[in-house]
Amino acid sequence: MHMEKKAKDSSSRRKFIRRFGISLGTVAVAGPAAIAGDTSETESGEMVRLLSPDGTLVEVDRSSIKKAKAKTREQIKQSYKGIPDRKFVMVIDLAKCKNARKCVDACQEGHMLPKDHEWIKIQLLQDSELASKYWFPKPCYHCDSPLCVSVCPVGATYKREDGIVLVDNKRCIGCKFCMTACPYSARVFNWKDPEVDVPADHVYDPELNVPPVEGTVGKCVFCADKLRNNELPRCVKACPMGVIYFGDVNEDAVTNGVETLRFSSLMVDKHGYRHMEELGTMPTVYYLPPVDRMYPVEIGFDGLDESITDRYTTKDFKKSGKTKK
């Protein structure tokens, strides 16, 4: 379970890993086993090398190493500020998407979501009658001018310095104003108790936003917890087609885990655009148009559960027809 793994990560680690690696390599500092080692009263004489938060290499006795708390108060506070000097951006290449839905699954698993909660949805869109349909993955756009943040009466949803919009489900009162304000239907509501089991030592952090709480709003968090650990969001990693690129505007680079591209030239060369630019919300998610596509749109229906294919095919779903099929 990723939760336990997360708990083992030392607190100091994420502080000195400032660079969001395009290489994506995780820097092993000290094995999790060493950090999680049991404490004993007497000195063992065995010295362990560790990196301190300021970046110097230090040696400490194994016996004095204590397991770090899953989250400190200071770290939770950081989740309200964001990761310094970052401005995250996502690019979704619509020419590659074939509705494999691996992103949806990875997201739901990672965030312990019930099956009817999709923080990333895949829509089947058609811009004009003459044009072909195309698959359209839709996470939260983490807008630079987010209406959801403006309308929240208690500051439960907030925009961070690194551009990520998060929801603090310990603050959220469930008024759902953000859901009506969001023009992209990015948010979901916990209409009932989600009934998820979290590890006993799990500490709530809006960056992961687990567990979901009844009567509050949830949405895509750009996997802010993964970003802290210098990893790509779950959907990016899970996508078998490399549809989703993620990166940093400041570094002018985005990657889908396989190839790393210059963000600015990608926008110019492939004509990057933002969905419904005219609404003025300034999303940080860009799309590359569905041209020269790798797969015909029908492939998206292959091997899917009927309950999922239905949502794209059932066109005439009249209000009166309560039971379909």
Task: Give the span between the Cα atoms of 149 and 158, in whole angstroms.
Answer: 5
Which of 29, 30, 68, 181 contacts another protein by CB under 8 A? 181
Task: Give the span between the Cα atoms of 235 and 298, in whole angstroms.
Answer: 22
Which of 46, 193, 269, 298 contacts another protein by CB under 8 A? 193
Task: Give the span between the Cα atoms of 251 and 20, in whole angstroms.
Answer: 9
Q: Is 204 in the site for another protein (CB under 8 A)?
A: no
- Residues 58 to 117 in contact with another protein, rule: CB under 8 A: 116
Q: Which is nearer to another protein, 7 or 149 (CB)?
A: 149
Q: Which is nearer to another protein, 152 or 224 (CB)?
A: 152
Q: Which of 147, 151, 123, 110 is nearest to 2 (CA)?
A: 110
Min separation Cβ 312 and another protein, Å:
6
**Cβ(71)–Cβ(45) below 8 Å:** no
Min separation Cβ 53 and another protein, Å:
31
**Cβ(88)–Cβ(163) below 8 Å:** yes
- Residues 240 to 279 in contact with another protein, rule: CB under 8 A: 276, 279
Range in contact with another protein (rule: CB under 8 A) among 53-61, 86-94, 107-115, 166-174: 166-174
- Residues 211 to 230 in contact with another protein, rule: CB under 8 A: 213-217
Q: Which is nearer to another protein, 183 or 257 (CB)?
A: 183
**Cβ(155)–Cβ(171) below 8 Å:** yes
Residue type, 154: V
Question: Is the peptide bond between 114 and the residue preceding it cis, with omega within 30 degrees of 0?
Answer: no
Min separation Cβ 144 and another protein, Å:
15
Q: How far is CA 156 from the centre of its chain?
A: 18
**Cβ(111)–Cβ(208) below 8 Å:** yes
Place of tokens 């396989």: 258
Q: Is 304 in the site for another protein (CB under 8 A)?
A: no
Residue 143's CB is within 10 A of a number of other CB atoms, namely 24
Q: Which is nearer to another protein, 172 or 243 (CB)?
A: 172
Task: Give the span between the Cα atoms of 120 and 233, in whole angstroms.
Answer: 12
Min separation Cβ 187 and another protein, Å:
8
Q: Which is nearer to another protein, 16 or 204 (CB)?
A: 204
Task: Give the span between the Cα atoms of 119 and 321, in whole angstroms.
Answer: 28
The count of chain residues that interact with another protein, using the rule CB under 8 A, is 52
Min separation Cβ 178 and another protein, Å:
9
State the DSSP H helix or E strand holding residue 81, giving kind and residue range, or none if neither.
helix 73-81
Range in contact with another protein (rule: CB under 8 A) among 1-9, 54-62, 179-187, 229-237: 179-187
Binding site for another protein (CB under 8 A): 116, 121, 123-125, 138, 147, 150-156, 171-177, 179-181, 183-185, 187-193, 213-217, 276, 279, 281, 307, 310-312, 314, 317, 319, 322-324
